[in-house]
Structure 1
Amino acid sequence: MAGATGRLGRHVVDVLAERGYQIVPMSRATGVDIITGEGLAEALTGVDVILDVAAWHDSDQEAATEFFRTATRNLHEAGRSAGAGLVVAASIIGNDKATAGFVASQQVHEEGHLSGPLPARILRAAQFHEFVGQLLDWRRGDVAHVPALPTQLVACRTVAETLVDLATDPEPPARPDPGTPIPEIAGPRRETMAEAAQLLGARRGVKVVAVDGSGLPDAEIAAAGAFLPGPHAELAGPTFREWLDTQP
């Protein structure tokens, strides 16, 4: 599994382990680099399904696009040589509408998987509950300015469970029909990112001020709901407030 030690990857590892599957965690921390290819062939030996939840570390579109282009190509080529039968990858809801930033880089990520030599399944997810804390960590001083853009936050654990369901579906893998919507997973409650941040800020003693998102990539289409789940999306809890109540 690529990205095994990341924010989402840790949860995927937990779900796989709980369901009794053997896991080969792949990250630089485990000696596998999906960009340089170091350790990749050895890690994929005997693997049936490749899970790709690797992520780039900043929002620069060009750098993120190159990361996903290279990583996807390497995973498919090494996976084919190793005899893997399927790749399952995490993506972002609304990336097909994005024109800039990290979200737009997911277009190359998805296309690389869907056009690669191995059959691939994609799961588009809403923004994670866990991302809200990162927004507060990025603040300067005692006040966090968070965009009041609509979202339908989902827990990483919920996304991980859905990814594992896709990866272990007994149906024979097939290339998706171009007219079939890519599966989506989102939380059950629509809110703004600022509203969620205010809930967390109240617990951390951080003042959160809602802003309009000006200057962010695709803020105008985001405000119009471009990154909200479609009518075919699976909606699953917990809500952000419910999830927050379970955090230490």
Structure 2
Amino acid sequence: MRIAVAGGTGMVGELVVERARAAGHEVVVISRSHGVDLTTGAGLDEALQGVDAVIDVANVETLSRKKAIDFFETTTRHLLAAEERSHVRHHVVLSIVGVDRVDSGYYAGKRRQEELALAGPIPATVLRATQFHEFAAQLIARVPGPVKVVPSMLTRPVAAADVAAELVLLAEGPAQGLATDLAGPEVLKMPAMVRRVARGKLVLTVPAGRAMSGGGLLPAGDFRRGEVTFDEWVAGR
């Protein structure tokens, strides 16, 4: 197969590209550094020539509802329109477990992305995954200084590599609409995760809201289980 990865130079995107190539697929990386701009659509038609499936892991870091909705709506519309012109057969989107239960600005953007993909002209699959193991390290990096303030969110973290493998597996098959959630092998609190990787730093816990701290980010029904535990991921860093 010829698979295009939107956001293929990001943390998850690089893992998806690596996994797809290891599975024997031809991979097209969609990113500004590869001459394609999802926010304007520039270069998309050329990039999608002969592509069978698109895996969309493009992302924006923002807490703003407007910025999140604008980004995901714009990039998804551009992708779907270009995919229709290029006769792409399958559109795969990475989303978040609990996105329909937690009302945050970023999640509003992801919900809009899901809506557009599932109602679009290309058969689509949406994979909701829990927070990555890597999210703990990202929280540390975002806050400078020796004190780290971490929300008291409850999650079932999954390795980004497990997510990448699942996305490629889904892209290889027929569209499923909303796929079975993907979550990690154990339920953990985010402050405890951060303390495992923030050695020598003070970690302070702040409220994360009832939904995030009360299980709103956990799978509500059946889910596929990632293989790598958080301790295994920490040991392999």
Tell whether the 8 Å contact from 2:63 to 2:104 is kept in structure 1 after alignment.
no
Tell whether the 8 Å contact from 1:148 to 1:195 is kept in structure 2 after alignment.
no
What TM-score, normalized by structure 1, do the two folds share? 0.90
Q: Secondary structure at the match of 1:133?
A: helix
Distance (Å, rounded) in 1 between the aligned partners of 2:175 and 2:158: 26
Which has a greater percent of strand?
A: 2
Alignment partner of 1:128 out of 127, 132, 142: 132
Correspondence for 1:75 = 79
What is the deviation of 1:227?
Answer: 1.0
What 5-or-longer segments of structure 1 have no aligned partner?
Answer: 214-218
What is the deviation of 1:80?
Answer: 0.8
Which residue identity lines up with residue 173 of structure 1 in the other structure?
Answer: A
Alignment partner of 2:193 out of 181, 193, 196: 196
Correspondence for 2:40 = 36
Correspondence for 2:205 = 210
Tell whether the 8 Å contact from 1:48 to 1:85 is kept in structure 2 after alignment.
yes
Instruction: Note the aligned Cα RMSD (angstroms).
Output: 1.3
Residue 96 of structure 1 pairs with residue 111 of structure 2: no
For these two proteins, the number of residue pairs brought into alignment is: 233
Runs of at least 4 residues off by over 3 Å: none
What is the deviation of 1:140?
Answer: 4.1
Distance (Å, rounded) in 1 between the aligned partners of 2:170 and 2:136: 26
What 5-or-longer segments of structure 2 have no aligned partner?
Answer: none
What is the deviation of 1:210?
Answer: 2.4
What is the deviation of 1:237?
Answer: 2.3
Correspondence for 1:19 = 23
Distance (Å, rounded) in 2 between the aligned partners of 1:96 and 1:148: 19
Q: Secondary structure at the match of 2:6?
A: coil
Residue 168 of structure 1 pairs with residue 172 of structure 2: yes
Residue 55 of structure 1 pairs with residue 59 of structure 2: yes
Q: How far does the alpha carbon of each residue in 1:41-76 deviate from its partner, in whole angstroms, 9 at most, with x for none?
A: 000011010110101122211111111111111111
